[in-house]
A and B are shown apart, each in its own frame.
Chain A
Amino acid sequence: MTTLPPLPQKKLGLVIDLDTCVGCHACVIACKGWNTQSQPSPLSDQDPYGADPTGTFLNRVHGFEVQPPEGPAQLVHFPRSCLHCDDAPCVTVCPTGASWKRAEDGIVLVNEADCIGCGLCAWACPYGAREMDMAEGVMKKCTLCVDRIDNPHLPEEDRLPACVRTCPSQARHFGDLNDPDSAVSLLVAERGGVDLMPEQGTAPVNKYLPPRPRDAAPDDVDVLAPYLDVVAEEPRGLLGWIDRTLARI
C-alpha cells in the first residue's frame, strides 16, 4: 500500500555529524559492499572498469564550502542518503505499492518484485536519495540495513547500518529519533540538529548536526615572532664579499 501509515511509535534514523565527518567515503563503500550482497539483486555498476564508469549507490558524500562574511572559508563534508521522511513523497506517488513505509519503525523500503522502474519516486524525492539500478530496472534505496539491525545471527555490535558501523570518525549515529531519551535524540538536542530542506514539507527523520564554531586565531598569536626575526638582513663577512662581488659582475 502506498498510502503512508499512521506516524510510527518508533522512528529509526541516522544522525550525521557535519563537524566530525572527514570525508573519507568509508560509509559509501561499506554501504555499497553490504547492500550489493544483501538486497534481492546486486547494486549494479555499468562500465566499471571502462572509460565512463557509473553505478548505483545508496549513500554519497559531497563537499561544500561555507564562506562566512568574515574570516576564512570552511569545508564541510556532506554525506547524503535517504532521510526516511515522516511525510515521504516517494511513497505516495508509487503506482504499484512497491514503495512503502514500514509502520513499526518508519523505515522507507522498496519491494523490488513490485517495482516497474517508472522512476517517479526518484522524481518525487527532493534529496536524490533513490537511484535506478540500470541492470535490474528497479529502484534502489537505503534500507537502514534492515538485514543487519534486526539480524540475531550477527554479533550485537554489528546490528547497525553498515555506514554507521564503519565510520572511523564516529560522524554517523543510529537510533530511535522518536524516543526523547535515546542517545541520538539527546545528541540532536545538545548540538542543535537540523532537517534538510524543511520547506519541502517532507519532515525528515534523519538529522544533521551543524559544524561547531571554529577556534578563531587571537590577534596576539605571534608572541614569539619578535624573537624569530631575521637577524642578518644583509650578509656580512665572506658571504657579504661574495654577494657584493657577484652583484658587480
Chain B
Amino acid sequence: MYPARSLIAFSTLSGLGFGLLVWLGIDPAPPTGWVALVFFALAHGLCLAGLAASALHLRRRDRALKAFSQWRSSWLSREAWAAVAALLAGGGHGLALMLDQPLLPLGWLSAALALAAVTCTAMIYAQLKAVPRWHHWSTPALFLLTALAGGALLSGHVTAALILLPALGALQIWTWYDGDTRFARSGSTPATATGLAGRGSVRPLFPAQTGSTYVLDEMAFVVARRHLKKLRVLGLAFMVVLPVPLLLLPMPHLFGAVALVSHVAGVVLSRWVFFAEAEHVVGLYHGRG
C-alpha cells in the first residue's frame, strides 16, 4: 500500500495524543492548574494535528463532515465520532482539573473514549480482508500498545513505559514475523484471481494499460521494499530499544525527552513500514503480489 505521509502523520500523532489522554484520564492524582493546562493542550494539540493530517488525505475536504453519517457500518465514521467524543470528554476533564475541581469519572470516560478512537483507527486497516497482512487482531493490538507506550512516555509514567515499551517491541517483532506469511495463508493466488485454477501455472503476461493507474499507485506500492529489513531494524531501535536505557538514566526530564523523541521517530518509521510492506490482493492482477 502507498505510505501516504498524511496517514502516517495522522496515526502517529493522534495515537500519541489519545495515549496521553488515556493516562491523564486514569491518573488517580492528575495534574491540576497550569500543569493540567499544559498536559491537556499537548494531548488535544496532538490529536487535532493528527485529525488535520487525516483530512489532508481527503480529495474533497469540503464534504468532510459527511463522514460522520455512517457510524452504523463504517469504522472510518466511528473513528470520527470516537475522536470527537474523546476530545470533548478529555476537554471537560482537563477544564475541571484546571479549576481544581477534579471529576475523576469524567477522566475514566475520556480514557475509554480515547482507547475507542485508537481502536477505530486500527480497525479501518484491520477490517480490510483484501490486505491479508492487516486483516488480523494484531493490528488493533499494535496500535493500542503504541498509543499506551507513547502516552506513558509523554505523561512521565516511567515504570509503565518500561513495561509497555518491551511489550510493544515483542508484539512488533512477532507481527512482522507472522505478517510475512499472511498473504500466502489467505489463499489468494493469480489462479483464484482469474478463475483459472486447476489449469496449470497462471501468470500475468501483459498489463491492461501502458502507463500507471490509481490502483497500481495506491495498492501495488513496491518502491523501496528492498530497504524494508533495514527500516524495520531502525524503527525498532528508535521506537523501543533506545528509549528503555534512556529512561533508566538520571535526569529524567532531559533523557526522558530524548527517549520520547527517539520513540516518536521509531513509530513514524514503523508506520511507514506498516503501509509500505502491506500487500493488497489486487497486486495479483499486476504481477505484484
Contacts and interface: CB of A to CB of B under 8 A. Distances in A.
A28 B213 CA distance: 14
Contact of B204 (A52, A57, A64, A123): A64
B151 to A, nearest CB: 26
Contacts of A103: none
Interface in A75-92: 75-76, 78, 80, 89, 92
Contacts of A65: 202-205
Interface string B111-155: 000000000000010011111000000000000000000000000
A46 to B, nearest CB: 9
A131 interface: yes
Interface stretch (B20-28, B30-38, B57-65, B94-102): B57-65
A47 to B, nearest CB: 9
B208 A80 contact: yes
A142 to B, nearest CB: 14
Contact of A67 (B64, B194, B201, B211): B201
A182 interface: no
For chain A, give the interface size range. Answer: 35 or more
Contact of B190 (A28, A64, A116, A194): A64
Interface in A94-129: 94-98, 114-120, 122-128
Interface in B40-72: 57-61, 63-64, 66-70, 72
Interface stretch (A159-167, A171-179, A197-205, A229-237): A197-205
Contacts of A63: 204-207
A93 B194 contact: no
Contacts of B190: 64
B211 A116 contact: no
A66 B201 contact: yes
Contacts of B64: 116
Contacts, number: 194
B102 to A, nearest CB: 36
A199 B188 contact: yes
The residue among A57, A119, A195, A208 with the most chain B CB atoms within 10 A of its own CB is A119
Contacts of A78: 194, 285
Contacts of A97: 66, 69-70
B69 A123 contact: no
B187 interface: yes
Interface stretch (B11-19, B73-81, B156-164, B230-238): B73-81
Interface stretch (B173-181, B214-222, B247-255): B214-222
Contact of B67 (A75, A96, A138): A96
B209 A52 contact: no
Contacts of A28: 208
B282 A95 contact: no
Contact of B188 (A56, A69, A126): A126
B188 A210 contact: no
Contacts of A128: 215, 219, 282, 285
A69 B200 contact: yes
Contact of B214 (A73, A94, A131, A194): A131
B193 interface: yes
B74 A18 contact: no
8 contacts: A60-B208, A64-B196, A65-B204, A114-B63, A116-B60, A123-B280, A132-B218, A199-B187
Interface of A: 1-3, 18, 28, 52-54, 56-57, 60-69, 73-76, 78, 80, 89, 92-98, 114-120, 122-128, 130-132, 134, 137-138, 194-201, 208, 210-211
